Structure 1
Amino acid sequence: MKLLRTYFSVFVSILIFLTATTSYAAEPLDEVKNVVKEYYYKDVPDSVLSSTTIQDLTRQLDPYSVYMTREEYESFVSAIERKLVGIGITIEEHEKGVKITSVIKGGPAEKGGLMAGDIILSVNGKKLAGESVQTAITLITGEANTAVTLEFYRATTNSTSTKTLIREVIELPNVEKMQLAGNIGYIRLNSFSLNAGDEIQTAISSMPGIKGWIFDLRSNPGGYVSAAQDVLGLFPKVQDAFKLTYKGNVSYSYKPIKQKLTWNAPVSLLINSMSASASEMTAVSVKDQQAGKIYGQISYGKGVMQSLFSLSDQSVLKLTTAEFFGPNGTAVQGKGVKPDVLTPIGKELVYSHRDFLLSELKNYTKLPDLKNVPTNKVFTIKMNSSMNWKDLKNSDVSLIELGDKEQAVRIQTSTNKQLKVIPVKPLKSSASYLLIIHPNWKNQHNKKMQHGAYLEVTVRCQR
């Protein structure tokens, strides 16, 4: 038996790896019992250790302790490293089957209409109730260009549907980036893979002149412990990474692994109810040390760590070996991490981007909000005195889609006291915007505006 690696991961992940065949003949049961007895983070009753199969034993431990064949382990590692083949979803166990936690953009599942929150009830007629995530993966996975039929339940419509999808090769970037309006950098990490720290540093270096960073860990299921330490090493204010409590209530504190390049501006961190394990460890460490502001919803609440043990037949036992805590002793297991700013679901990026932008507008006057405007809205700006519009420029007004980029506008004068701001493209349905009037204008007496102004705009939903 050999310890392979420790990691924080709750979902065995992207439901589409390489084909795996499950066979539990000649299980190394005695090896597993010895490992559990020595390393499981809680005392294990003799009744559990007397189980006659590995599956019976692990089911009595916790949801995260699982036995994997060599093929299943290879698929598991491929998931963490984002090397996937399949339909493009992440899953977790559910009493009725397996629950979809996220759907990969452009994958077969999204194209087939599946959504996060859907519960897969059966695969090719095989019911999943009571089955493990590994079993579901085995049933759903297969070679590229082959078909799989899923029966799933959707709670929002209280309906059950059946879809046949074609498995595909899916290229999954682990780090996604974008420069938002106002020189705000956005970086999303999808998995705590071994090279996560390096990939984030590459993204940081590609966006010079950033005034603030938004680090997105929404629906990130976790990954390796060392990757979590690398990621925490990107935060200048993080001096301690986490605490681990092992069997016998033995605790150790761990340091972040300092990186060559760090966040060079204030950081906002995004989490949601599907941010788990390493994501939660990062969030609780940042919160304990006030190293950034956290936006979103309370996270998943998976505060235990697993270790991977290689067995004599090349199978692997994934076993819970420790509970983790924030540097200040803040518990995560069963509680999750509460954000500093609670936001509506799906509005985490909007809120954090808005706060960064407003921090640059402290000397601007806030005008009344405009709510539920149409997508073809034309904005009318009225001044309290006659203006000299001779040097008027389109750049004097900024229309920023929150969570995205600045939108092009045309300015058209109506009278010497009034002008219109016309978006070049229609506004997006249900989107939020900031309309900013910069203090660049002069009145007819050549007196410059004392302050700029801004207003918040929400667009009505159009179906």
Structure 2
Amino acid sequence: MKKLIWSFVFVLGFFLLPFTTTHAAENDQQLIKEIKEIVKDTYVGTINGNLEKATSISEIMDMLDPYSTYFTKQEFENYMNSINLSTIGIGVVIEEHEDGIHILQVIEGSGAFEAGVQAGDIIIGVDGESIIGRSTQEASSLLIGNEGTKVEVTLKNSDSSKTTKTITRKKFTLPNVQTDLLFGNVGYISLASFSEDGAQLVKNALIDLKKRGATSFILDLQNNGGGYVTTAEELTGLFQSAKVAYLLEEAHNSYTIPAVQQDTKFPKDTRILVNRYSASASEMLSASLKDQKAAILYGETTYGKGAMQGFYTLQDGSYLKLTVGKFTGPAGHTIHEVGVKPNVQTTTAPIFQAHYDALKEKYPKYKQLSTVKNIADTQKFTVKIPAGLTSQIAKSNIQLAALGAKEVPVAVKIEGRTLTVTPKSALSPNQEYMLLIHPKSKDQKGYYQHIRISN
């Protein structure tokens, strides 16, 4: 019986992985026999066919769930790199643009960085081939390649000039954790993947934000496709009342897996952001925190992959990734093909409501005014204030916070019950804000209001 070497809950690849099954191994009867034995002993799920009659590796894989896969050595290395956000390419983060492919970020130390490529440049050609109108997937397939090889990239610069640079492909790693200190001393941490060091990166970010003055936190797991199970166990241990990481059902046994307790903790009012692409390990952590009331979930119902995969090293050095268990949160609610429903479902970016609620908790004695929706004028807006409040307002005591971001400097004019707020720079379409009206004295009431700008 082959030893299980790693357990993963991962579904959405961050990079394009050029997998090509090795045909030499496809019909290796000894290898096929070995895979059959592992499947019969440890696979959890329906086998759609007669396993004993299968004569090739691909035939076996077709009988199993979509998360069970055979990897050659190279494919396995590519897969592991994707979890740890490492790949070989020119070293840029990109998005589609009407003029080509827009560069959002240039990774320090990458080939693009060394060639002088700038964030904001637009890629319009690769090796003499136009990529205007192409998808990011198509562009990525041209930009990735073997380490040390060169690619000719034509750029449209911010001043509309065009340059062509020869860039050497190098291995690079995208930042897995990003942080910010939002208005009101709300610490924001986003985690892109449950990499091997993911829990330590989040822990370091938590400690750093506390030093910078953060008193409440938002952890963003949107679009996080999962990764190492051990990372989920360690992350669960960062939350005060979370004792159990998950419940696991394997082929022959069931287990209660404890959280790996940490010496630094998130506060109990921490908010977790999830969406339909939060999958696997993200769902494992989210379900655990929701079930144990260790955090508050915001966003959409998650992807719905409650299956755990294990890796087995085969006799020729290749690997079998196999579904070996189904997991749930401590309450036992099904995750697989169902997902995790957040405590607070949102129809706009969940960080808006999460930040708004975090700020509300900082002003428990303030009164909430009716939400102002669909404001079309980004240069200024007006709100009606309660009768009798005019005398309590000082212009210097009014603040406007961009939700998910910082304070917006404003000028304020008061005429009767009408409060006119003019920001120093135009407000952003589809952005949400919080207007805070602080009292002149402690014996007076403060107010806050949710402001939504239309497109």
Give TM-score, length-normalised by structure 2. 0.78
What is the CA–CA distance in structure 2 between the aligned matches of 1:62 and 1:89, rounded to whole Å?
Answer: 32
1:61 maps onto 2:55 in alignment: no
C-alpha distance in 1 between matches for 2:260 and 2:399? 41
Task: Report the residue type matching 1:247 in the other structure.
Answer: A
Question: CA 1:276/1:415 → structure 2, altered by over 3 Å: closer, same or farther?
Answer: closer
1:6 equivalent to 2:10? Answer no
1:336 matched to 2:347: no
Q: Distance in 1 between matches of 2:170 and 2:323?
A: 33
Partners in 2 of 1:455 and 1:256 — Cα distance? Answer: 39
Aligned residue type for 1:194: E
| Structure 2 residue matching 1:300: 3-state secondary structure | coil
1:220 equivalent in alignment to 2:220: no
Return the offset for 1:25: 0.5
Q: Deviations over 1:120-143 (max 9, x none)?
A: 7xx79xxxxxxxxxxxx9999524
How far has the Cα of 1:290 moved from its partner? 1.2
The number of aligned residues is 402
Match of 2:305 in 1: 302
CA shift digits 1:282-318 (9 cap, x unpaired): 1111111111111111111111100001112211110
Q: Does 1:454 align with 2:448?
A: yes
Hey, what's the Cα distance between the residues in 2 that align with 1:7 and 1:455?
Answer: 44
What is the CA RMSD across the aligned residues, in angstroms? Answer: 3.6
Would the aligned equivalents of 1:83 and 1:171 in 2 still touch at CA under 8 Å? yes
The AA in structure 2 aligned to 1:399 is L
Structure 2 gaps, min length 5 = 95-101, 107-111, 113-119, 125-130, 154-167
Structure 2 vs 1, CA of residues 261 and 362 (structure 1 numbering), >3 Å: closer, same or farther?
Answer: closer
1:430 is matched with which residue?
430
Q: How does 1:81-96 map to 2 (within 5 A)?
A: 81-86=84-89
State the AA in 2 paired with 1:7: F
Pair 1:193-2:187 in alignment? no
Maintained 8 Å contact 2:186/2:215: yes
**Structure 2 counterpart of 1:235, one-letter code:** F
Candidates 28, 34, 40, aligned match of 2:37 = 34
Q: Match for 1:257: what amino acid?
A: V
- TM-score for the superposition, normalised by structure 1: 0.77
On the 8 A contact 1:388/1:416 being kept in 2, the answer is: no
Aligned to 2:364, what secondary structure does the other structure show? coil
Q: 1:251 to 1:147 in 2, by over 3 A?
A: farther
In 1, Cα distance between the equivalents of 2:223 and 2:407?
Answer: 27
| One-letter code aligned to 2:346 | T
Residue 451 of structure 1 aligns with an amino acid whose one-letter code is K
Match of 1:405 in 2: 406
For 1:15, the equivalent position in structure 2 comes to 15
Q: Alpha-carbon deviation of 1:420? A: 4.8
Shift of 1:55: 1.3
SS of corresponding position for 1:14:
coil
Q: 1:77 aligns with which of 63, 76, 80?
A: 80
- After superposition, the Cα gap between the structure-2 partners of 1:172 and 1:104, relative to the gap in structure 1 and judged at 3 Å, is farther
Aligned to 1:174: 176
Q: State the SS of the aligned residue for 2:8.
A: strand
Given that 1:16 and 1:89 are in contact with CA atoms closer than 8 Å, whether structure 2 keeps it comes out as no
CA shift at 1:454, angstroms? 2.1
Identity among equivalent pairs (%)? 33
Unaligned runs of 5+ in 1: 91-102, 125-136, 149-165, 442-447
For the 8 Å contact 1:16–1:140, the answer to whether it is kept is no
- CA shift, 1:364, in A, is 2.3
> Secondary structure at 1:25's aligned position in 2?
helix
Contact kept in structure 1, 2:45 and 2:65, CA below 8 Å: no
345, 353, 360: which is aligned to 1:358?
Answer: 360
